[in-house]
Every structure is written in C-alpha cells, then in structure tokens.
C-alpha cells in the first residue's frame, strides 16, 4: 500500500481523493486542511484521519504528500514534504514567485524525492494521443503549434486578485503544452493582452484576453490564444503542423446528439469547464503518478516543468507590459 497525506479538502482535493479510493494499492491516510469541517467530511468519506501537517509528515508509513491546498501554501508544503522524504504530487503552480520556486526546487533536488507537478493536460487522453503520435513521427518535424485555450467565463474578482494574473494563472497550462509539443525550448516570447470583458479586471492590473507567439532556436513557432469568456463553454483545442501533415485535438461534448431543423444542424456545445473537460485527465494523472512511483520511472511532469512554464509566464507578462518580445534567457536561466 502507498499511503497518502492529502493537503487540501476542497474541489480539487475531492477529485484526487476519489481517484485514490479507486486505486488498488494506494490509500488516503491523512487529510490536512485549515477548514476543519471540509477535512472531516473528506476524511470520513474515505476513512482517513484529520491531523496537522507535522503529525502527517512525521508518520514513517506515509509515502506521499499530495498538495491540493491554496497556492500560497504550496512551496512551504513541498519543502516540508521533501525534507520528510515523502514523494510529492503538487497541484500547479508550485508558487507565483519564480525565486521562491527555485529555492523550493533546490530542496527537492537535494533530497532526491520524486515530484509531479499537476499539469494534468499532459495525461488527457486526446492531448496525450496527439503528443505520442507526433513524437512517433506521424507528421514529420514540428513547424507550428497553435493552442486555443478559452475559459467559459470570468472568475470572481477575489480569485483574480490572488491568481498572479492571467499569464501565471491560465496561460501557464498552455505554456506547458507548448514546451511539451514543440519538443524544443522557446527562446523568445511576445504577448499581447487586453481587457475587454470587464473593466474591473483592468483596474486590478489584469487582462482577460491574450495572444502569444513563442519562437524556438530552430525557427518553430507557437501561437496561444486565451480568453476569459467563451460563452459556449470551455474551448480547449490544439493543432500541430509538421512537415507532412497536421494533428488536431478538439473539444469534448456531453453527448453526441445533434438536431436538424428549419434553422440549422446543431450539436452540443463543449463541456462546461475544466472539472468536466479534464475529468479523465485527473484520474489518469494520479494513475501515472502511482505508476511512476511503483516503477521508479521519471514523473510524467517533473518539478522543472513546473518552473519552466512559470518562466514563460513571467516572460509573457514582461512582454505585455513593455510591448516588446522578451528573451526567455533574460527571465531565468534554465535550471541545470
């Protein structure tokens, strides 16, 4: 049995706990949350004890720290878990400060504990299949990557205020996809942002629209488009152009029903948001983590991947603010 302590008993925590329960050889031993009530509820459902961080990490029979608490607690928990010798499953982002991420990852590196960062799109069945077929050479060498990633609606302002801004909060997933699919590090980032959905977003210094172009050393190009408002649901599409063809992955829908009438032929709009769209990815993520642990394989998304996506987000933010393309090397050298 692989025993877990889970930090965070909220929405994402509930998903991971359910995935754990469906596993044959993993068990939730402890739940830790500042919201005692939420922790008790989750603990009761899955037979886990509610304790504090120290107690949980001190238990030698706990093998994994699953960190699904609020963003500002991630880095400290990663450090504490690493020092306690636990394997780490950490929801993205590790932290909103690149400096703090680096300090934190230094500890992880020294302790040598395995760590997965929660970019779950890498294990989404469609994106994973696209990636694997790409790497298998089905369309030849990559030339361009185009990522459409649009949320169904603005989150509450309270959320936005602590989110780190659109590039760090939302585009960061797309930066990870870009790196993964390009198969080569971007060296330059140009980002244009604007605020057209709600002026209140602009007032807190954030944006609700963005378009990005990434460029690699060898001339591969990548475009990302983001919006906080896709009234038709969560729009998550990827296309990759190679020397011999194009691979695309499209949206998923609740049903396959379509109606034809005097007006149009209409199908379902896409699944509403990430909980629905990536339900399979969340399950696959925990399975992939456990598989890597058992077989002592590299994690499907490593600690360094978490860092590099943040570097691109920082570069995008700087580009947006200065109105100029930004060299990635000016943000933070690649961690050795």
Q: Using CB under 8 A as the criterion, which residues of the chain lie in contact with a second copy when the complex forms?
A: 22, 125-126, 129-130, 133, 138-139, 141, 143-144, 146, 148, 150, 190, 192, 194-197, 209-211, 213, 215, 218-221, 223, 225, 227, 229-233, 235, 241, 243-252, 254-270, 323-325
Q: Write down the residue that tokens 């050298």 correspond to.
A: 333
- Min dist. Cβ of residue 323 to a second copy (A): 6
- Min dist. Cβ of residue 145 to a second copy (A): 10
Closer residue to a second copy (CB): 81 or 249:
249
Closer residue to a second copy (CB): 93 or 152:
152
Closer residue to a second copy (CB): 150 or 307:
150
Decide if 58 contacts 271 (C-beta within 8 A): no
Decide if 320 contacts 167 (C-beta within 8 A): yes
Decide if 75 contacts 100 (C-beta within 8 A): yes
- Min dist. Cβ of residue 101 to a second copy (A): 28
DSSP state at residue 268:
P
Closer residue to a second copy (CB): 62 or 281:
281
Closer residue to a second copy (CB): 259 or 336:
259
Closer residue to a second copy (CB): 59 or 280:
280
- Min dist. Cβ of residue 23 to a second copy (A): 12
Alpha-carbon gap, residue 318 to 325, rounded angstroms: 8
Closer residue to a second copy (CB): 250 or 298:
250
- Min dist. Cβ of residue 37 to a second copy (A): 18
215, two tokens = 């460029």
Closer residue to a second copy (CB): 49 or 272:
272
- Going from the C-alpha of 194 to that of each of 155, 203, 207, 224, the distances in angstroms are 16, 12, 5, 14
- Min dist. Cβ of residue 191 to a second copy (A): 9
Q: List phi, psi (to 5°) of 249.
A: -130, 130
Decide if 211 contacts 225 (C-beta within 8 A): yes
Facing residues of 239 across strands?
Answer: 146, 248
Burial state string for 192-227 with b = 16 or more CB within 10 A and e = fewer than 16: ebebebeeebeeeebbbbbebbbbbeeebbbbbbbb
2, two tokens = 């692989």
- Min dist. Cβ of residue 108 to a second copy (A): 33
CA contacts within 13 A on the Cβ side of 93: 31
Q: Write down the residue that tokens 């609740």 correspond to.
A: 254
- Min dist. Cβ of residue 14 to a second copy (A): 13
């Amino acid at each position: 049995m692989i025993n877990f302590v889970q930090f965070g008993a909220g929405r994402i925590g509930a998903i991971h706990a359910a995935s754990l329960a469906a596993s044959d050889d993993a068990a939730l031993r402890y739940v830790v949350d500042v919201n005692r009530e939420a922790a008790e509820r989750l603990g009761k459902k899955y037979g886990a004890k509610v304790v504090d961080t120290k107690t949980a990490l001190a238990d030698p029979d706990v093998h994994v720290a699953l960190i699904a608490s609020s963003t500002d607690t991630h880095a400290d928990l990663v450090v504490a878990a690493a020092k306690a010798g636990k394997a780490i499953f950490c929801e993205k982002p590790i932290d909103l400060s690149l400096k703090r991420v680096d300090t934190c990852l230094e500890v992880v590196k020294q302790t040598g504990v395995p760590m997965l960062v929660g970019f779950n799109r890498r294990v989404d069945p469609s994106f994973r299949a696209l990636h694997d077929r790409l790497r298998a050479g089905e369309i030849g060498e990559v030339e361009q990557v185009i990522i459409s990633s649009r949320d169904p609606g603005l989150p509450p302002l309270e959320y936005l205020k602590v989110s780190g801004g659109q590039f760090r909060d939302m585009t960061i997933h797309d930066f990870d996809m870009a790196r993964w699919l390009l198969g080569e590090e971007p060296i330059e980032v140009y980002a244009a942002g604007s605020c057209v959905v709600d002026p209140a977003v602009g007032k807190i210094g954030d944006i609700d629209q963005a378009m990005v172009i990434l460029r690699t050393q060898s001339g591969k190009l990548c475009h990302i488009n983001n919006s906080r408002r896709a009234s038709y649901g969560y729009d998550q599409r990827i296309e990759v152009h190679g020397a011999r063809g194009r691979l695309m992955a499209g949206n998923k829908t609740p049903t396959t029903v379509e109606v034809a009438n005097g007006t149009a032929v209409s199908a379902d709009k896409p699944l509403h948001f990430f909980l629905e769209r990536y339900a399979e990815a969340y399950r696959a993520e925990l399975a992939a983590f456990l598989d890597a642990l058992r077989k002592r394989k590299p994690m499907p998304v490593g600690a360094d991947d978490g860092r590099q996506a943040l570097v691109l987000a920082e570069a995008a933010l700087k580009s947006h603010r200065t109105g100029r393309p930004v060299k990635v090397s000016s943000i933070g050298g690649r961690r050795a």
